[in-house]
Structure 1
Amino acid sequence: MLKIENLIKKYGNKEILHGINLEIESGDIFGFIGKNGAGKTTTIKCVVGLIEYDSGNILINGMDNLENSLECKKITAYIPDNPELYEFMNGIDYLNFIADAFDVKQDIRMERIVKYSKIFDIHNNLNESISTYSHGMKQKLAIISALIHEPKLLILDEPFVGLDPTATHYLKEEFKNMCQRGTAIFFSTHVLEVAQNLCNKIAIIKDGNIIETGLTNEVTKKSSLEDIFLELMKDEIR
């Protein structure tokens, strides 16, 4: 569903990503792990078309994300670590706006809006201005807006930041349900326990290089993901 080949990104003369290679298949929950500044967000922004990259290929469902940008976006949903929503709208208007953008039929969108707003406990707040929402409520609204068109590829940058324990639980359960339906999920996280318990595949990035990747149960068969991560990063900790 998502294939990244030899991705290189530079800022000026400084190379930030040094030939990233990753493949996320339908049904995968793929965890992308690394310290701040390792290249996680840069990689994700290249994938979703927010920043240009210098060389390499990014394929979404077999389509080049540059040559077929619109078609790729139709089947993708992206949630950044700090969602920027239209705060002059109320919650329901924003969700309808997103549903219109993806041509989601009225009956289907309302069914999904009711379902997810109740799951994430903001159903009673949808008629309120987004400007009055807390950070966690904005995060929940962004999540619902990403799920409303049932994307084939869901990309998230630190999705659990700002969510309460109940919302975190239901989001993880929804990830599992989506993958059973064939969705591919690719997300960055600092929560190593969540990555180990939730993801079937993981990749660890360091200084713009993938230094470990594979099936989670194979990567962690001798030790916890936290111990592996700290071992790989120990030269920076000293």
Structure 2
Amino acid sequence: MSDTILELVNLKKSFGDKEVLKGVDLEVKRGEIIGYIGANGAGKSTTVKIMLGMVEGYEGEVIIFNKNIKDTKGEYKKKIGYVPEVSEVYESLTAKEYLTFIGQLYDLDIDTCTKKAKELMNLFGICDYLNTRISTFSKGMRQKLILISSIIHNPEILFLDEPLSGLDANSVMVVKELLEILSKEGKTIFYSSHIMDVVEKISHRIVLLNDGKIVADGSFKELKENSNEGSLEEIFNDITGFNNHKEIADKIAMVIK
């Protein structure tokens, strides 16, 4: 069995006259943690939504679990998990009702859903809110709930878009450790974020998308050697040509005086 779990072949996508993806080629191995980064509008979210089957009308191929997703009926989705940057949840449901509902979508029985929901909420420190309506949850509590919903069915691929948003420092450490454990178990993590130091620390490979194309792909060490820069943020700025951040900040400071 091939250890390639996900492959993009000459992926292109336009919205009207705007060409968002201009021929993306990417091969991801089982167990890899991929840091997928780029500026706003670079095409990161579009790439992920195409792989999730949420955006159609693209050119090229998306191959997941050795099958072109266009040739499937979406059954591959039962083996993936997703944390979107902006999460929509059924606020009128309790946490238990929501997680049970999500679990059943992935063919888990109610007893298993309930058991996992209780245990996972306890480990994330929100078990006291199991029977509380989501409408009363803070941003951090909602984020924990979304994270739980993305892993409750033990997915093979986990797509994460700013998954640490709103989490407290302790929970951030837990999630970082969890991703490494899942990776060692052969799970594949596709991690998209603007928080460069986190991407730098957790990723096995970093893929930089700029203007709809992949302009860098390698470990942090490899990218660092190729660019002669110190941090991922500096590498990002070097490759994308954005180097006037200090000048802009100075001007903003002058305006608000």
**Under a length normalisation based on structure 1, what TM-score does the superposition of the two structures give?**
0.94
Q: Which amino acid aligns with 1:195?
A: V
Determine the structure 1 residue equivalent to 2:231.
224
Find 2:27's aligned residue among 23, 28, 36: 23
Partners of 1:115 and 1:63 in 2: CA distance: 34
Partners of 1:236 and 1:19 in 2: CA distance: 26
Structure 1 contact 99–109 (Cα < 8 Å) conserved = yes
Runs of 4+ deviating beyond 6 Å: none
In the TM superposition, 1:181-220 aligns within 5 A as 181-220=185-224
Local SS of the residue matching 1:66 = helix
Determine the structure 2 residue equivalent to 1:125.
129
Deviation at 1:202, TM superposition (A): 0.8
Instruction: Work out whether 1:167 is the aligned partner of 2:155.
Output: no
Q: Which amino acid aligns with 2:141?
A: M
RMSD: 1.6
Structure number with larger C-alpha Rg: 2
Bigger drift between 165-174 and 66-75 goes to 66-75
Q: Per-residue displacement from partner, 1:149-186 (whole Å, max 9, x unpaired)?
A: 00001001111112111111111111111111111000
Determine the structure 1 residue equivalent to 2:249.
none
In the TM superposition, 1:105-116 aligns within 5 A as 105-106=109-110, 108-116=112-120
Determine the structure 2 residue equivalent to 1:74.
78
Partners of 2:169 and 2:115 in 1: CA distance: 25
Question: Which runs of 5 or more residues in structure 2 are unaligned?
Answer: 246-257
Q: Per-residue displacement from partner, 1:88-129 (whole Å, max 9, x unpaired)?
A: 111000000111111124554344323321222111112110
Distance 1:176 1:235, change over 3 A: closer
**Under a length normalisation based on structure 2, what TM-score does the superposition of the two structures give?**
0.87
Partners of 2:21 and 2:58 in 1: CA distance: 10
In the TM superposition, 1:82-101 aligns within 5 A as 82-101=86-105
Partners of 1:164 and 1:69 in 2: CA distance: 39
Question: Which runs of 5 or more residues in structure 1 are unaligned?
Answer: none
Partners of 2:63 and 2:244 in 1: CA distance: 35
